Amino acid sequence: MKPAISIQNLSKSYKEVEALKSISFEVKQGELFGLIGPDGAGKSTLFRILTTLTLADSGIVRVMDMDVVQDFREIRNRIGYMPGRFSLYQDLTVAENLEFFATIFGTTIEENYDLIRDIYVQLEPFKTRPAGKLSGGMKQKLALCCALIHKPEVLFLDEPTTGVDPVSRKEFWQMLKRLKNEGIAILVSTPYMDEAALCDRIALVQKGEILSIASPDTINEAFHGTLVAMKSHRMYELLTTLRNHPKVASCYAFGEFLNAALMDGDEDWQSLEMDIRHKGFDDLVAYETTAGIENVFMQLLSQAEA
């Protein structure tokens, strides 16, 4: 079975800025694949190339085994796309937006209603409301319905839950799981590490380069070394102290704690704790913790910069 998305040595620059640097990966049919990275990593540029909105400088890009340049018209008929910014017609109602997109793709709401039913039932009470008057979560659900109205084979979602409340985010990802079970290949970008764990595979992206591609569990296992969580009421001083400590390879803030990775081969985190206490941090809380995707990302980033 051919992949839903195939990218080989893709590069794209904007004047002096290299947005994408010879990246390569594939997305299988029926796979939920995540792109994880901060703003400026190149995720949106990649989406614009895959959805035939921007030309690459070099490389081979195929969607459903079709070339994104030569077959762009056919690709547009067979994919769904949600850009990072809400882009539906805000003065049209929910029902009018859906009818408009169905007409563009030569179909009807009724023809593919089975695909959007679970989403649309939440929108139906607001079907006469202008799209611009919807909440953030409802706007994203409407945008997803419009992207699915023609039953696409591949779905592209560029940070679909940014700025959406936690409950709506959870509901949105439950919808993606159901769509994946329908056989739709989904490529989604997100800055949220908890969402990354819900994907089948993820690619960690920074400054136009892919640092790693694997399943979330495999990514977590890639962390090497001992990781210690620490906190004190003097957090900034603690961060500075840890970053300058000879036992610490790197230290970053994660929630209310600092995560300090010890130097390779050093597992004696208790001696680090004692040393930090002796430096005046009497209220220090410290324990060894398990690395998550964000820890692996920071470690890979440090290695890349080194």
CATH number of the domain at 64, please: 3.40.50.300
- Same domain for 44 and 81, yes or no, is yes
User: Among residues 39, 34, 41, which one has the least CA distance to residue 19?
Assistant: 41
Backbone Cα Rg of the chain: 22
Domain containing 102 equals 5-220
Strand partners, 28: none
The total of other beta-carbon atoms located within 10 Å of residue 68's CB is 22
- Residues contacting 133, CB < 8 A, separation 6+: none
Confidence (pLDDT) at 285: 95
- Same domain for 183 and 158, yes or no, is yes
- Same domain for 159 and 37, yes or no, is yes
- Same domain for 135 and 110, yes or no, is yes
Confidence (pLDDT) at 306: 62
What's the rounded Cα separation, in Å, for the pair 196 and 9? Answer: 24
Phi, psi of 85 (to 5 degrees): -105, 135
Total number of domains constituting the chain: 2
CA atoms 243, 245, 250, 251: torsion sign? negative
pTM, rounded to two decimals: 0.86
Q: Are 48 and 54 in contact (CB under 8 A)?
A: yes
Q: Is 162 helix (H, G, I), strand (E, B) or coil?
A: coil
- Same domain for 151 and 266, yes or no, is no
Alpha helices, DSSP H, located in 111-165: 113-123, 136-148
- Same domain for 90 and 228, yes or no, is no
Angle, in degrees to the nearest 10, between helices 166-181 and 113-123: 170
- Same domain for 34 and 58, yes or no, is yes
Domain end (from 220, 243, 259): 220
Give the chain's residues under pLDDT 50. Answer: none
- Same domain for 53 and 188, yes or no, is yes
CA distances from 159 to 28, 34, 189, 235, 288 (A): 20, 10, 5, 31, 32
